[in-house]
Structure 1
Amino acid sequence: MMKLIRNSALVAAISLAALSANPALAQKNKDKNKDQEAAAAPAAAPVSNVVQGIAVANLQAAIANADAFRIAQQQRPVTYKPQLDQAQARGNALEAQIKPMIDRFNAARQGTLTPALQTQLQGQARAIQELQEKGKQEIQQILLPVALSEAFVNEQLEEKLDQAVQKAMEKSKVSLLLQPGAVVARANAYDLTDEIVTELNALLPTAQLVPPQGWEPREIREARAQQAAQQGAARPAAAPAPAAAAPAKPAGPQPEGR
């Protein structure tokens, strides 16, 4: 095939040189080739050779581009402004508290590292690390309502995602849908993400921003259920109830029956 291509290119180059040298012949061949070009058109390589029935979709991108997700992203900083402000203030206070400790630590490192100084530096490093970890946990606890809101909105969209995918596949006549990671390369014509976003917008125009009291993400609920099931399986079976004792026979001789 490569040899044929090279020969064809060589013939084309020679023909081009001949036509350039003879304008009349060039015009004659130009008119003659019109019908040939029309006949050869179907054999030309198509611009986009799309196989119907196959598509690729980025489901995470579909959720992130859904109207419900974007609206929630815009509303969350307003709804949870107190928590965000509190977390920012705590972070600033933590930085102001830790910075002098870090400065003293770095200054002490410039001296001769005697055994006593190394012990002192290790203690300072532990104190800084413990303070940073404690502050991080405090900030995470402050921002817990914000994180729960994000998880709650995502879960509402995920619950509609399968239905949106099925509708998009049905409308686009797709029978096989792949994740982008499973494909080496593809043309844009195979991407079904936008169609899935359209269906998500129709199924869930807006999402509830604030989760109900006591709500937990699906991962935590499933982990709790699995833990409860494991504990139930590990619990020993109840001991069987003791059999009823036979009534005691009265002592002494029994009267004879009639």
Structure 2
Amino acid sequence: MNMHKKLLLAAVLVAPGAVIAATQAQAQTVAVADPEAAVENSKVWAAAQAEIGTTYKTQLDQAKTRGDAIAAELAPLYKKFDTNGDNQLSQAEIATARSTRASELAQIEAKEKAAQEELGRMTAQPSRARAYAIEQITAKVNEAVTNVVKTRNISVLIRPNAAFFASPAADITPAITTEIDRLFPKASITPPAGWQPGQQGQQAGAAATPAAPATGAKPKKQPESR
């Protein structure tokens, strides 16, 4: 799973209360939606990625070149443990290596960890820009979902993997994508000073919480370059 997928999964949380409140009036329809896919397919997210790719091209190109070199260096080291020759390390092969060649495997894993940290430093700026863009876009997901639910008079909304069966017509993910783009056509890729991932959502949650009343009292894989 690449980094922006992880960020999307962490950031997209459709508030059940918002959807329930939107379905009080004679709702009749059951629908499915994938909010992460709605964000990933949006024009605003595509534009943000393109801008990040342009703005940080030098860092990303350097990281890719370095990542390819690291992969080429690590591949033959891990190949020693590929006993069935399928160019992959299974859990069984890793377990065997840990029991029979633990010291050698630990050295390779330490080298891989150092390489991942190096690539992380090289891509820190574009990764931060990507996280900031995702956070801004996903902040509009609840509103987009609520608007689509209201417009289509939907009574029950579930994720695709929770449905035993759903026809393509039941999927409102594209409609949510369209609504996200309408609500938020442009995302900034420049975080303000002091910004940290998740900060916007935490602040929104704090603002939504009413004040209390006053009282008297993995299998191994080659390191990613992104």
Answer whether TM exceeds 0.5 for this pair: yes
| Kept after mapping to 2: 8 A contact 1:105/1:124 | no
Give the corresponding residue for 2:22. none
* Structure 1 residue identity aligned to 2:49: Q
**Partner Cα separation in structure 1 for residue 161 and residue 79 of structure 2:** 46
**Structure 2 vs 1, CA of residues 104 and 218 (structure 1 numbering), >3 Å: closer, same or farther?**
closer
| 1:139 maps onto 2:92 in alignment | no
Of 138, 142, 159, which residue of structure 2 is paired with 1:162? 142
Give the corresponding residue for 1:22. none
* Ranges in structure 2 where 5+ consecutive residues have no aligned partner: 1-26, 83-100, 203-226
**Structure 2 vs 1, CA of residues 144 and 189 (structure 1 numbering), >3 Å: closer, same or farther?**
same
Secondary structure in 1 matching 2:154:
coil
| Kept after mapping to 1: 8 A contact 2:139/2:201 | no
1:11-37 superposed Cα distances (whole Å, 9 cap, x missing partner): xxxxxxxxxxxxxxxxxxxxxxxxxxx
More helix by share: 1
Of 42, 65, 78, which residue of structure 2 is paired with 1:66? 42
Written as runs of structure 1 = structure 2, the 5 A alignment for 1:105-254 is 124-218=104-198
**Structure 2 vs 1, CA of residues 72 and 220 (structure 1 numbering), >3 Å: closer, same or farther?**
closer
Give the corresponding residue for 2:58. 82
**How many residue pairs align between the two structures?**
158
Written as runs of structure 1 = structure 2, the 5 A alignment for 1:83-98 is 83-94=59-70
1:133-156 superposed Cα distances (whole Å, 9 cap, x missing partner): 211111112112222222212111
Larger Rg: 1
* Structure 2 residue identity aligned to 1:81: K
**Partner Cα separation in structure 1 for residue 163 and residue 79 of structure 2:** 51
Identity of paired residues, percent?
A: 31
- The CA deviation at 1:66 is 1.1
| Kept after mapping to 1: 8 A contact 2:135/2:200 | no
- The CA deviation at 1:193 is 1.3
**Superposed CA RMSD:** 3.0
1:148-200 superposed Cα distances (whole Å, 9 cap, x missing partner): 22221211111111111111111111132111122100122222112211211
Secondary structure in 2 matching 1:189:
helix
